[in-house]
Structure 1
Amino acid sequence: MKYMFMLYETDKDWVAAPEDELNGVLAEHVTFAQYLDGRGIAWSGEALRPSTSATTLRPGDDGLAVTDGPYVELTEHLGGYYVVEARDLDDALEIARHCPIDTGIEIRPIWDSGTPAQQAAGA
């Protein structure tokens, strides 16, 4: 089963961060990628630009409204993600314990195939 690890962190523009700080954080993620590869875990992941670069599309009275910025104002934002293949939630939690954490990781199962209705019916 696939799980998404959503990595939350204080909003930071890593492009403007000091090089040694950026290199330290990147090294932690390289170590995590090596852990995943060493266990033979299929994975993908990316870092996200700061929330100030977000554009939000919301339904409104006049159709869809486009606004600059994140959906909600928070002190912690989604900073990146990994999608990993795990046997079950316990395995996903064990994998996530090796992931670099700033303020938290939200772990969610991903629908493997078909529609949610097909998944619920066991199709």
Structure 2
Amino acid sequence: MSRYLLLLTEPDHFAKWDAAGDAGQERAFAAFRAFHAAVRERGAIVGGEALAHPATARTVRPGDDPATRPVTEGPYVETVEQLGGFYLVEAPDLATAVDLAALLPAEYDVEVRACLDAGVPDA
């Protein structure tokens, strides 16, 4: 099994979620449940979270000294799309990871990226 990061993005995610109403939000939750069931059958969810609004982010900028690296408020870059959440999954191959990502709510763009083994032991 290989690990894949699924990044869920959407323009104006937080405003659209609030405006979706109960029926729209339940459709999204149904898609998440279908995704979870499919991953259990074909792989494993290693982790995942919904993320708070981008305005709450802090970005640590490059610098030589960890004690003096600049920190800015907000996301890394200004963009129309907002990162709303992520999953780290184990799947047999990229094609399976893409098939699983397609089960997530249709309102999201989902970027699927293979994870590299950086030789760092698990926590």
TM-score between the two structures when normalised by the length of structure 1: 0.75
Residues 4-54 of structure 1: CA deviation (Å, up to 9, x unaligned):
11111123437x8255143332232122112222x1421032111111111
The 1:12–1:95 alpha-carbon spacing in structure 2 relative to 1, beyond 3 Å, is closer
Unaligned runs of 5+ in 2: none
Taking a change above 3 Å as real, the CA distance of residues 11 and 50 of structure 1, as seen in their structure-2 partners, is: farther
Q: Could you tell me which runs of 5 or more consecutive residues in structure 1 were left unpaired when the two chains were aligned.
A: 116-123
> Aligned residue for 2:115?
110
Q: 1:70 aligns with which of 69, 72, 75?
A: 75
Give aligned-pair identity as a percent: 38
What letter corresponds to residue 104 of structure 1 in structure 2? D
Aligned counterpart in structure 1 of residue 57 of structure 2, from 54, 57, 60:
54
| Root-mean-square deviation (Å) | 2.5
- In 1, the alpha carbon distance for the partners of 2:93 and 2:50 equals 25
Q: How many residues align?
A: 113
Deviation sequence 1:64-87 (CA, Å, 0-9, x none):
111111111111011111111111
CA contact (8 A) 1:13 1:49 kept: no
TM-score when normalising by structure 2: 0.75
Deviations 1:74-119 (A, max 9, x none): 110111111111111122122222222424111111124615xxxx
